[in-house]
Amino acid sequence: MAVSAEKISVHSIADLKNTSDDAIPNYLNSLGFTQSHTLSDTRLALGYSAFAICAATFCWDYQFGFESTKYYTAVAVLLYSILNGALTFWIWAVEKGTVYVGTNKNGDKIQVATKTQKHVPIYNVTITTYSKANPTVPNPISLKKPFTQWFDKQGHFVSLPFQQMFASNVSVIGKADPTKVVEKKKVANVEGANKSMDEKWASLLAESSGVSLDDLSGGTAAGTGSVKSKGRPKKN
C-alpha cells in the first residue's frame, strides 16, 4: 500500500495536487482524527441551491414561455447571482484551499490548507493546529515541498514520504504516528521506489532507527553508485 496503483500525469499540476489532497484525509482519518465536513457541506449546500434555482427557472421558462414569467426569472437571476457570489466568497475567503479539518481524541484541532502556483510543481501546505487548552490560538506551520518527493517518475503516489512529511513537521500528527517521524526534517526520497532491494532495506533500517536516508547515503555512497550503474538504466 506504499505505492498507489493509479497513475497520474506528472505534467499536470492539478492532478498532482488533487491526488495529494485526497491522501491527506485518508492519512489523518487513519490516525484517529475525526473529520469535520462543515466547510465542504456549506459549499455543496450553496452550490446545489443555486442549481435548484436554475432548474426551477428552466422548468417554468420551458412550460410557460418567457413573456409571462419574466419577473420571476429576473428575481431568480438575482438570487442565483447572490448564491453564486456567496459560493465564490466561501471558496476564496473562508475555505482558502482547506482540504481537511479534524479533531483528535484529545480534542486538538487540525486544519490543512494546500495551494499550488501555476507551472510551479511545489506543494504549499499550511497546517494550522489548535490545542485543546488554547482553542482560539492558531499554531500555523507552512511547508513548501516539491511533488517529486512523493511521486515517482511514472506518476505513482508513494505514501510513505508524504506521510513522513506530515508526521515529522506537525507534532500532533507525529504523536499519533511516531513511526513516521523522521528527524532533522528529512524525509525518504521517492528515488527509493527505483532503488535496489539493498537500498530499500537500508532505508527501512534508517527509518526504524530514526536516521534519515540522506544521512545514511553519505556512508554508502560508493556502494550506491556502483549498484545504480550496474542496475537497469534510468528511465526517461
Partner 1 sequence: MLSALQNPRQAAAQVLNFVLILSTAFMMWKGLSVLADSPSPIVVVLSGSMEPAFQRGDLLFLWGRNIFEETKVGEIVVYNVKGKDIPIVHRVVRKFGVGDEAKLLTKGDNNLADDTELYARGQDYLERKDIVGSVVAYIPFVGYVTIMLSEHPWLKTVMLGIMGLVVVLQRE
Partner 2 sequence: MHSTVVRAQNVFGFFTTVAFAVAALIAFTDLITPRTPKANISMSKVEVVRGRPNYYSTKKEEYAVLRFNLNADFSSLMNWNTKQLFVYVSASWPNSTSSEHTNEAVIWDTIITSPSADHLQNIGPAAMKKLKKSAEGKTIDPSRGKINLKNQKAKYQITAPGGRLAEKNDVVLKVHYNIQPWVGVLTWTPQIEFGKWKMMKGGVSKLFNFPALKVKKAADTTSR
101, 38 Cβ separation under 8 angstroms: yes
Taking the complex as a whole, how short is the minimal distance between the CB of residue 122 and partner 2, in angstroms? 19
Q: Which is nearer to partner 2, 10 or 86 (CB)?
A: 10
- Name the one range near partner 1 by CB under 8 A: 50-58, 143-151, 165-173, 191-199: 50-58
Q: Rank residues 18 and 194 by Cβ distance to partner 1 and give the closer one.
A: 18
In whole angstroms, how close is the CB of 147 to partner 1 at the nearest point?
16
Instruction: Provide φ and ψ at 128, rounded to 5°.
Output: -110, 125
119 binds partner 2 (CB under 8 A): no
Count how many residues are written for the chain: 236
C-alpha distances in Å from residue 103, one per residue of 172, 195, 207: 10, 37, 27
The residue among 103, 157, 109, 155 whose CA lies nearest residue 131 is 109
- Binding-site size, partner 1 (CB under 8 A): 29
CA angle (134 as vertex; 36, 130 as ends), nearest 5: 35
What does the per-residue mask of binding to partner 2 show for 3-42, with x meaning CB under 8 A? ------x-xx--x---------------------------
CB crowding 28-46: b at 16 or more within 10 Å, else e: beebebeeeeebeeebeeb
Handedness of CA 93, 169, 110, 41 (dihedral sign): positive
Binding partner of residue 77 among partner 1, partner 2, none, CB under 5 to 8 Å per kind? partner 1
Positions that interact with partner 1 (CB under 8 A)? 6, 14, 18, 22, 37, 40-41, 43-44, 47-48, 50-51, 54-55, 57-58, 61, 65-67, 70, 73-74, 76-77, 80-81, 84
Positions that interact with partner 2 (CB under 8 A)? 9, 11-12, 15
